[in-house]
Structure formats: C-alpha cells, structure tokens
Structure 1
Amino acid sequence: MSMLTPPGLGGKYRITGDTYPRMRRPSRRRKIVIASATAVVVLGAAGWGTLQLVQVFSGDGTKTTAARGADCKPAPKATAAPVAALPKPAQITVNVYNATPRGGLAKATADELKKRGFTIGKVGNAPVAYDKKVPGAAILLAAPGAAKGAFPVLGTQLKTATTKTDTRATADVDLILGTAFKALDPKAAADAALVALNKPKPAPAPIC
C-alpha cells in the first residue's frame, strides 16, 4: 500500500503511486433535461390558462367561428324579376281632372302623359267632391289594387302626388290636379325613377 493511500481505503481506491482514483463531476446533461421539461410544463400550463380565460370572456371560439361561417355566406346575386309585376305605362289608363281655377291644365297634363307612354281616358274638371279642394300638387285615386301597380308607376311622373283609394271596380286611375300643381316632373327624372322602380334590389350583405 502506498503512503498516499488514505487509511481504510483499499482495492480500487488504493493509490499505488502511478494511478489516482477518478471522481466524476455531476452530469450537466441531466440538469439541462430537467430544466427543459420544467419549462415546457410551465409554458403549457400558462397557455392552457390563457385559453380558458379567452373562452370565458368571449365564448367557445370554435362554435363562434362555425356559427359565423354559416351566417356569413355570400349574398346571392339578384337575378329575379321585380317583386311586383308592375304594369307598363301603356297599360295604365289615366283620367286627368283639374281641381284648380286655371283653365286648360288637365288637357296640357294629359297630352304630356300621353307622350310619356300612358293611355289617357277622361279629361276635364274635377268632380264636385274634389273641385277646388285639393291643396297639394295632386291626388292619385283608384281601386285598392293600384297601390302595388298603377300608383308606383304613375307616381314616377309626379313624386309629390298623394294616393287615395275608392270602391271602383275598374283599373283606371284618376289624376286630380291640385292648387300646388305646376307641372309633371322632368321627363329625364321620371324615366330614371321608372327604371329604378323596375330594377330588383340586391339582398343586403350579411353582417359578420
């Protein structure tokens, strides 16, 4: 036994003078693995907690997205005909009556409507019930069915006219000119209004 051998040690720990026992240092690899695993667990827990908070305050994100996807389909293109089968001006017979003191107003208005394609019926002074009793521009008077047909079409020629229905069985329309009447709307404006009336409206875009 060498003099360098500590008391009580022998065997492989015996120091012979040319060999020394090797004492291994603690492995750093194990520390790195443990630290990495700990970091992954901590980050995973933090991420899961954040997701739970988001779902609490905003609801289930998966369901919300699916629901929005179902509601946010592109709006179909408007290819259908107008909602109501509106009559053409030539299909509307207009009786023009003058409820003002001005002479010749009914005939002049009837002539202009005829130029714009309307069919003219009776022309003359307004009935007693309306004569000198129409303070506005005009009244359109017809059967209830005219509300979805003749009224909108004839109304493009005079936007300030009001409408009223009666119990007649015929499809003609009375245009009773009132005190405030000056002239029909300009033809260009009336034509544009008529085109817009017969143009189908596209469906509104969905709100996502």
Structure 2
Amino acid sequence: MSMLTPPGMGGKYRITGDKYPRMHRPRRYGRLVFGAVAAVVALGLIGWGSVQLIDVFTGSSSKASAAGQQHDCKVAGSPAPAPPRSLPKPAKIKVNVYNATPRGGLAKTTADELKKRGFTIGKVGNAPAAYDKKIAGKAVLLGAATTSPGSFAVLGTQLKGAQEKTDARKTGDVDLIIGTGFTSLDAKKNAAKAMTTLAHPLPAPSGKC
C-alpha cells in the first residue's frame, strides 16, 4: 500500500503520484458584489464633491442664488401702476398772454402757438406794470388761489421752468407773463411727452433689495 493511499481504502483505490489533489474553497460571490457596489458609491461621492468644489471656486452657486433673490425682490417690490390723473383739457384753460420784455410781438406769436396746441386764448398784450420788465426768468404763470392745480400743470408742460404765482382774482383764467429769459415755447413733441408723463405718473418703488 502506498503511503498516499488514505486509510481504510485498502488497495482498491490507489493514488499514484507524489501530490495530494488540491481542494479549492468555494468562491464568495457576496463579497465581490459588495465590493463592486462600494466602488460605484465611492466614485459617485468623489464626482459630487468635485462639482461642489468647482461651484465654490467659480461662484456659480452664489451667482445663481443672487440672481434668484434679485428676481424675487423685483417681483415682490414691483409697484402697482398709478392711476391716470384727471387733468383739464387745454381747451378748458383760458390763457391770457402778456409780454414783460422789451422785445415786441412775443405775446402774439406765443398766443398763436398756444391756440394751435388747443388752448383757449383770452387777452394778449403788454404785461401789467407790476411785472413789466421785472421778470428775469422764462415766464410766470399767474392765477387765482382757487384755480385748479391742473391748469397750472397743463400750461406748464408747454414751457418748462415757468414760475407759478397766485393773486386775488375770482376767475379761473391763467396769465402767462413772458420774461426776459424766454425764447419760445418748448417743442411740440417735448410738450406732448411732458403732458403724457403728467397724466400717467410713474409709481415710486414700494420695496428695497
């Protein structure tokens, strides 16, 4: 009997050669699967961390956040449109045009232009002694204290920079007294734009960012 023959097997089963057959352990597939899953998760975490670092250094997240806050602020702080003002029509405003300068003909040419723009014209001539050659600016708008503020505002759109004053008259007419700083009425397109702005004022912002 060979020394390699297992006990009890006698000579029926003989193992020839000088090596025992190798017995392999069963493979543990569970560990292989767990290792593969762990590797995938690790790679995912590394990728996510890289993206976060890029955002930190480039400021992408902060820019997006700031843009979102700015958008929300604009929406929250946007004021409601102001209702249009109730203003008298130029035809409802009677204007007396007086010339307080040494230059002749200013009252008539100015009155003619105002008439073309829809105003009702009253008296035209030289300014009263209290104002004659005493107005250094462009003009003075003079009317009763009870005159509708809209009348001064509408007439003022035709000549920017005119000074407003009141007197003791009881009528609703308005005097346009031309001063030495006057050259002409504002251009018709500019006056029309001023009238539109007057009728539809822009609302003040109601919120701050």
> Normalised by the size of structure 2, how large is the TM-score?
0.62
Q: Which amino acid aligns with 1:140?
A: L
Partner SS for 2:41? helix
Question: For structure 1, which segment, 118-127 or 92-101, has the greater mean C-alpha deviation from structure 2 after superposition?
Answer: 118-127
Q: Which amino acid aligns with 1:162?
A: A
Q: Which amino acid aligns with 1:89?
A: P
Unaligned runs of 5+ in 1: none
Change beyond 3 A, Cα 1:69–1:117:
closer
Question: Matched residues in 2 for 1:31 and 1:98: separation?
Answer: 105
- How much has 1:195 moved relative to structure 2? 4.4
Question: Matched residues in 1 for 2:155 and 2:41: separation?
Answer: 77
Matched-pair contact (CA < 8 Å) for 2:142–2:164: yes
Size of the aligned set, in residue pairs, is 193
Question: Matched residues in 2 for 1:38 and 1:185: separation?
Answer: 80
What are the residue-to-residue correspondences of 1:20-169 with 2, within 5 Å? 20-24=21-25, 27=28, 30-31=31-32, 33-34=34-35, 36-37=37-38, 40=41, 44=45, 47=48, 70-73=72-75, 81-82=83-84, 84-142=85-143, 149-159=150-160, 161-168=161-168
Change beyond 3 A, Cα 1:183–1:73:
closer
Partner SS for 2:164? strand
- How much has 1:133 moved relative to structure 2? 1.2
Question: Matched residues in 1 for 2:140 and 2:7: separation?
Answer: 128
Question: Matched residues in 2 for 1:194 and 1:10: separation?
Answer: 122
Change beyond 3 A, Cα 1:95–1:16:
same
> Normalised by the size of structure 1, how large is the TM-score?
0.62
Kindly report the root-mean-square deviation, in angstroms, between the aligned alpha carbons of the 2 structures. 4.8
Partner SS for 2:97? strand
Matched-pair contact (CA < 8 Å) for 2:142–2:167: no
Q: Deviations over 1:53-88 (max 9, x none)?
A: 97xx989x99x95x666545496996x752x21221
Q: Which amino acid aligns with 2:100?
A: A
Unaligned runs of 5+ in 2: 9-13
Change beyond 3 A, Cα 1:31–1:102:
same
Partner SS for 1:166? strand
Question: For structure 1, which segment, 22-31 or 98-107, has the greater mean C-alpha deviation from structure 2 after superposition?
Answer: 22-31
Matched-pair contact (CA < 8 Å) for 1:110–1:120: yes
Question: For structure 1, which segment, 107-116 or 28-37, has the greater mean C-alpha deviation from structure 2 after superposition?
Answer: 28-37
- How much has 1:179 moved relative to structure 2? 1.2
Q: Which amino acid aligns with 2:4?
A: L
